[in-house]
Chain A
């Protein structure tokens, strides 16, 4: 019978819940919202089972929205409250029935065919003008333009099962304490850009739900001092993940955490005030530590890493950023003691020399990923040891290591045959010999990035094309590459998904034509600063690469509005386009017909042509069309 609902009446509740659960796991929030609109039964089930929500902290109705969400979605487990999202002020209409808002569509479709970006606060928030406004307890007449503690308190009381909470907004201490009192199962807490609170609030929260807390992250919260960390140490014995970014933390705070949280597995510290004593304590007490990340740590010396090495035998990940006082001896300690080391990243530790890597090569056979950024003193001989010792290496990432030459990379290629990712930026001494060696030895290479490596030429690229089935290739700034090299790539790597050929002066339309023919899976292409590419080449590219989603082509002086129109009309899946704004404005007659073909969720980024020096992010205007 037409129009009759046969299945819904027979579907048991458990099956419906299971269906909704699977939609939540695999689909977008949009899909779940659509399910909630099918009928009132489905909406009831969705409300009873919805597990995660992203809520707005800006807008005058934020408190009310949060209260309603807490009442109607009691099963929420993961909540993120963000002040970048805003509840749009709905028209106040006390007589509008709630029923009318239920039938209103979820999104407005504006005339240009693009969905207006709705606030991501609960489905009903933005359209729900007519709920009864019971005034909150406080009587002061101050203008409320954002979330306050009242809203957070209602969230805490309503969602008792909350496990994961992320706050990025302006709230006060009572709000945090309310969360602590209400959500006794809280496992993950993340505070970022939270202002208006003080240590009191966080301490209150921790005292109440510290037992269940497993993960704590605090960043850009200038109020946090050691007092909070003392509380963490006293009340959070089960803490496994801690990430701290603060200028006021000193040694005592970190020592308290070390003594109290013996089960700590991941530690990320960006604290200028702490030094060696802090890490001595971590090494002494936190023997389960697996991942350590130290950023801008200006005060600690080799002594810290020696303590860590002695105590944390399970260390697998080590990240050191801008640690100027460290020398090779630190890495020797770590290498000799932490046999399970798998991921190592050294950024800007200028006093680390060749010996540091030699120790790693000799003592860490399990190394999987190695990143060296701005290490100008490391020389080729270090890689001889790494090549010999670390045969399981999967990923190598080198930036600004100016002394590394082809020989070093040949050692790696011959020793680390399982390499899948290789990335080199500004390797001015690297040339074709290294590439040929990789092509012969590393048949699993999938991602290759060679940015500003000026000696790399077509010969090396052709070898790679024949030897390695690449999926991602970045050749930005390798000036010697010509159309021939790219032709070889197009013919040899049909699985290519991402290609960046920016700042290549000699490539032209022939390369694009070959890529169009050969790389039918291409989703992402960047060809900015290529002066010889013209609209004709773009036409060939678009004809072949149907799955193209993202295209960047700024500063291509021979590409005109016609070329842009070709891209827009030829790529049905286009989501992101980076191009100069004047190229679009010039040709309304070309662009206008093509524009409605852009999928409604596409975002077109436009770059203004006048770029004053220096290029600061604030000088670029990005517009959503």
Chain B
């Protein structure tokens, strides 16, 4: 019965460290380096890399890669700044690539 109760958690694909919750998903329509990616409002147990200014399909952004804290696997990135008005909603939010996270028993 324990599997049916409680928050739906995603884990790192390598070390099964809990990194984000299904309820924090804002959008599923993002494109990562190798496939689909989701936009989350919160993340846990991750560490951030140095900030970089990248030209993405939607414009210029300042992003920082996020790593699983235990196994240092790159899971996605965090938007620090967006330089177009229509993209400002992404600031402070996290992208996790679908290929790098797995559902934890649900």
Main secondary structure of the interface of A (DSSP, over half): loop
Taking CB atoms, residues of chain B closer than 8 Å to A348 are: 50
CA of A612 to CA of B54, assembled, Å = 11
Given known contacts A452-B81, A529-B83, is B55 in contact with A615 (CB within 8 Å)?
yes
B37-68 interface code vs A (CB 8 A; 1 in, 0 out): 00000000000001101111100101000000
Q: Any chain B CB within 8 A of the CB of A12?
A: no
A614 to B52, CA, bound (A): 11
Pick from A374, A477, A612: contact of B83, CB below 8 A: A477
Residues of B contacting A505 with CB < 8 Å? 83
Q: Which residue of B has the minimal Cβ distance to A373?
A: B50
Docked complex Cα distance between A454 and B31 (Å): 28
Contact across chains for B57 and A613 when beta carbons are under 8 A apart = yes
Q: Give residues 575-625 of A contacting B (CB, 8 Å).
A: 611-615
Encode A363-386 as 1/0 by CB contact (under 8 A) with B: 000000000001000000000000
Given contacts A426-B62, A503-B83, A505-B83, contact A615 B56 (CB under 8 A): yes
Tell me if A614 and B83 are in contact (CB < 8 A).
Answer: no
A426 touches B51 (CB 8 A): yes
Binary contact track A411-445/B, C-beta < 8 Å → 1, others 0: 00000000000000010000000000000000000
CB-CB under 8 A from A477, the residues of chain B are 53, 83
Q: With A426-B62, A452-B62, A529-B60 in contact, do A611 and B83 touch (Cβ < 8 Å)?
A: no
- Cβ-defined contact, B50 with A400, below 8 A: yes
Closest B residue to A477 by beta carbon equals B83
Q: Once the chains bind, are A611 and B60 in contact (CB under 8 Å)?
A: no
Interface of B is mostly: strand
Whether A612 contacts B62 in the complex (CB less than 8 A), given A400-B50, A503-B83, A529-B83, comes out as no
Please, what's the 1-or-0 string for A493-518, where 1 marks a CB less than 8 Å from any CB in chain B?
00000000001010000000000000
Q: Which residues of B contact A503 (CB under 8 A)?
A: 60, 83
A468-489: contact bitstring with B at CB < 8 Å (1 yes, 0 no)? 0000000001010000000000
Question: Shortest beta-carbon distance, B46 to chain A, in Å?
Answer: 15
Which residue of B33, B53, B62 has the most chain A CB atoms within 10 A of its CB atom? B53
Q: A374-B50, A426-B62 are in contact. Are A613 and B83 (CB under 8 A)?
A: no
Task: Return A478 CB to nearest CB of chain B, in Å.
Answer: 11
Q: Which residue of A lies closest to B64 (CB)?
A: A400
CB distance from B99 to the nearest CB of A (A): 15
Which has the most chain B C-beta neighbours within 10 Å: A348, A452, A479, A555? A452
A529 to B60, CA, bound (A): 8
**CB distance B31 to A613 under 8 Å?**
yes
Determine the chain B residues whose CB is within 8 A of the CB of A612 once the complex forms.
57
* Cα separation A505 to B60 with both chains bound (whole Å): 12
Q: Within the complex, what minimum Cβ distance (angstroms) separates A621 from chain B?
A: 14
User: Distance (Å) between the CB of A176 and the closest chain B CB?
Assistant: 38
Q: Give Cα distance in the complex from A424 to B69, angstroms.
A: 29
Determine which residue in A348, A612, A613 has the highest number of CB atoms from chain B within 10 A of its CB, and name it.
Answer: A613
Say yes or no: B50 contacts A613, CB within 8 Å: no
Residues in A with CB closer than 8 Å to B55 are 555, 611, 615
**B33 neighbours in A (Cβ, 8 Å):** 613-614
Residues in chain B near residue A400, CB distance under 8 A: 50-51
- Complex Cα gap A529–B56 (Å): 13
Contact A615 B62 (CB under 8 A): no
The chain A residue sitting closest to B85, CB to CB, is A505
Name the residue among A348, A374, A452, A614 with the largest chain B CB count within 10 angstroms: A614
A612–B50 alpha-carbon span in the complex (Å): 22
Q: Which residues of A contact B60 (CB under 8 A)?
A: 503, 529, 555
Q: Smallest CB–CB gap between A393 and chain B, Å?
A: 25
In the assembled complex, the CB of A618 is this many whole angstroms from the nearest CB of chain B, namely 13
- Residues in A with CB closer than 8 Å to B51 are 400, 426
Task: Give me the interface of A with B, judged by CB distance under 8 Å.
Answer: 348, 374, 400, 426, 452, 454, 477, 479, 503, 505, 529, 555, 611-615
13 more A-B residue pairs beyond the given contacts A503-B60, A611-B57, A612-B57, with a C-beta to C-beta distance below 8 A: A374-B50, A400-B50, A426-B51, A426-B62, A452-B53, A452-B62, A454-B81, A479-B83, A505-B83, A529-B60, A613-B33, A613-B56, A615-B54
A–B pairs, 5, beta carbons within 8 Å: A400-B50, A426-B62, A452-B53, A555-B55, A611-B55
B-side interface residues toward A, CB under 8 Å?
31, 33, 50-51, 53-57, 60, 62, 81, 83
State the 7 A-B residue pairs at the shortest beta-carbon distance, nearest first: A615-B55, A613-B56, A613-B57, A374-B50, A614-B54, A615-B54, A503-B83
